[in-house]
Structure 1
């Protein structure tokens, strides 16, 4: 298959021991038109010595430590080929990844992003051999739903996607104010502006390790990485709540009437809840119920059930009883509110099973109590709805 070449960018910082695995996996499948740009973000280890071993096969750059976003922006200035592939320095590219991803563009010339799956692995501490772990978080979706699915959770990572260079020009540089979630912020912007098409093949292996993340000025310990990621995601979505048009929360990106408006509000509320922006979520749910009294359709109920499916979990909910009380109030407002609360409760059930399987019975009990509160509120609203006609008949008699 002919193509005009890929600029492959590897930003690296103090990963001299891991970098060779990454570079070797890329070099084995590069074609003559491709270029491999490695940006050393001020490493203090043996990174330069490692790069010297790859003389004439990579285009190395060394800059003062400025963080991943700045390193990527500098590299993008030199990425003058039609496609860009950003690969993290601790990951390994699958042997047929280039072929699989470029085949997506060949099959769909309108695609701006080609992406695929990943598996996780760790190195055996004794032998150093790679040990495959569970599959990485993945969502099957059509191109039209990619933006909404990405807003719900990041499931496509930079090593797992090749992007047309012109799309990066269209959306602008990486945000240098972000120490973490740089790639998530960019992925949302790319999804807003371009068409993303999936390959179901595994295109890279994501290394699990305890190394330091972040920059020299803002290092992140491995044990803190999820909390830090969530805090940056919180800030990103707090901004998006104000800036992103509500229509973007629908696959059609159009709002034609009250039903669409309600569906968009519920979808945005679910997204915000998954990022622990509960005030915004509850406000959206309340407004959604004001827009229409019609019953919720099956698709909207399914969206509501996904509120607790975030890959980071929803532990903050368990420590915030007023949130559960606010959702329970929705059930008492209308039959549609009852449907919404019940769908949300049903979404907790797999969290209950997950906690029990992990022998975290206290957590399972708290989720069970929250789900029971919502189910009870829904049942009371249903009972009240059934008795209202009887009461009216008695008054008329």
Structure 2
């Protein structure tokens, strides 16, 4: 709360929702100065607590902050300034740095963000679908947008912020600054709600499973037309083909290779005589660069399916070749780390795709295709005409 009270832009309302803590949270909050409202409930998970807190919020702008991270003094002013400068945006976000405290001397150690994409090309929605990089402590959302997309999912044990940011970005434009607005604590101990605790060492496997759960729940939102709208081309079919590849890329990065393969197969059916454009090749490369790895793509069944895609048509061969080139850096990393088993597996995978595709390529040159920075999204709900208030 101290970092909220020290903002350069006054915060008019601070809601503290105590989700069944066993420490001195209530005592500390009751003695705090400022516009603080305290609520307590039995531990029911973050989603339930956030939904209850949102129902109590009075402001037009909502700013959700975790209790163990630190927002920087200029964060509220920067975020409200972004929304003021971009009135069509439904939400504003910023960068962050990670920190940990040295257990020996107590010195605070700052590091860069865990992941931050190159925002010079492509839409915010595309970048967010490929991986999360905007977090709630650095995100200010119009209340009307939360009302439009519905409550936080209470059937997700974690990653509720990822689910929500995608739902918001699929409906409303996002204004972003790369400037760091908060410091995110790096945890070494147990994480999650009481009902779903996991050790930090297990995080990779936990996030991998949860990411798949998140995107299973987003299927109704992530329709083919949404992906097609991310691209501008000379013909509708070319934009649709790129959209199918992008959809496959997103599912591949979530390690859902059955959905990814379906999208790649559908892409190979559109304009089969036209070669892939540079933009489409980059999409395929990114499909193999997800943080969760490509173990599922290397299974015998999936390798056989990708081989069939390569052998089915010249365009299928080119898609497989682009996927294969996206795998090459993983082979270099395995060789550098002397992980001979993984290097051998990747080598066999690459060789098999190369052999199946051969040198066949579509005869027609690639058409012009580009990514839209601002793809068509849902309309921002009408504002109620009230004067903008400080974030809650």
- Asked if Structure 1 and Structure 2 have the same fold, meaning a TM-score greater than 0.5 normalized by the shorter chain, the answer is yes
> 1:32-43 alignment to 2 at 5 Å?
32-43=10-21
Partner SS state of residue 152, structure 2: coil
Structure 2: gaps (5+ residues): 364-392
- Worse overlay, 234-243 or 158-167: 234-243
Residue from 263, 269, 284 that aligns with 2:263: 284
Residues 8-52 of structure 1: per-residue CA shift (max 9 Å, x gap): xxxxxxxxxxxxxxx222221164452221111001223223324
TM-score, scaled relative to structure 1: 0.83
251-260 or 105-114: which moved more?
A: 251-260
In 2: Cα distance, 1:193 partner to 1:299 partner: 24
The more displaced of 109-118 and 355-364 is 355-364
Say which structure is richer in helix. 1
**Would the alpha carbon gap of residues 353 and 104 (structure 1) be closer, same or farther in structure 2, given more than 3 Å must change?**
farther
Match runs of 1:1-397 below 5 Å: 23-29=1-7, 31-56=9-34, 58-141=36-119, 145-241=123-219, 244-252=222-230, 257-293=236-272, 294-318=274-298, 320-381=299-360
* CA distances 1:150-185 after superposition (whole Å, capped 9, x unpaired): 111112111121111111011111111111111111
Deviations 1:49-88 (A, max 9, x none): 3324424453221111110000000111122212111112
The 1:368/1:126 distance shift into structure 2, 3 A limit, reads same
Give 5+ residue unaligned stretches, structure 1: 1-22, 386-397
Distance apart, 1:199 and its partner CA: 0.6
The size of the alignment, in residue pairs, is: 361
More displaced 10-residue stretch of structure 1: 106-115 or 132-141: 132-141
Mapped contact 1:180–1:228 kept (Cα < 8 A): no
CA distances 1:335-390 after superposition (whole Å, capped 9, x unpaired): 211221111111112223344455544334433332233233333546x99xxxxx
Matches of 1:358 and 1:89, distance apart in 2: 38
Measure the CA separation in 2 of the matches of 1:314 and 1:157: 25
Which has the larger Rg?
1
What is the CA-CA distance between 1:148 and the residue it aligns to?
2.0
| 1:240, distance to aligned residue in structure 2 (A) | 3.2
TM-score scaled by length of structure 2: 0.84
Counterparts of 2:28 and 2:121, CA distance in 1 = 40
The verdict on how the C-alpha distance between 1:351 and 1:144 changes in structure 2, with shifts beyond 3 A counting, is closer
Higher relative contact order (CA 8 A, sep 6+): 2
CA RMSD of aligned residues (A): 2.5
Instruction: Give the Cα separation in 2 of the matches to 1:286 and 1:338.
Output: 11
How far did 1:217 drift?
2.2
Distance in 1 separating the partners of 2:124 and 2:67:
26
Question: How many angstroms does 1:246 deviate by?
Answer: 0.6
CA distance in 2 between counterparts of 1:177 and 1:45 reads: 26
Checking the alignment, whether the CA contact within 8 Å between 2:229 and 2:243 is kept in structure 1 is no
Counterpart of 1:367 in 2: which secondary structure?
helix
State whether residues 100 and 201 of structure 1, in contact with CA within 8 Å, keep that contact through their aligned partners in structure 2.
Answer: no
Distance 1:120 1:251 in 2: 34
Looking at structure 2, the residues matched to 92 and 33 of structure 1 have their Cα atoms a distance apart, in angstroms, of: 15
Shift in Å, 1:261? 2.2
Distance 1:88 1:142 in 2: 29
The farther-off stretch of 363-372 and 230-239 is: 363-372
For 1:281 and 1:186, how far apart are their aligned partners in 2? 22
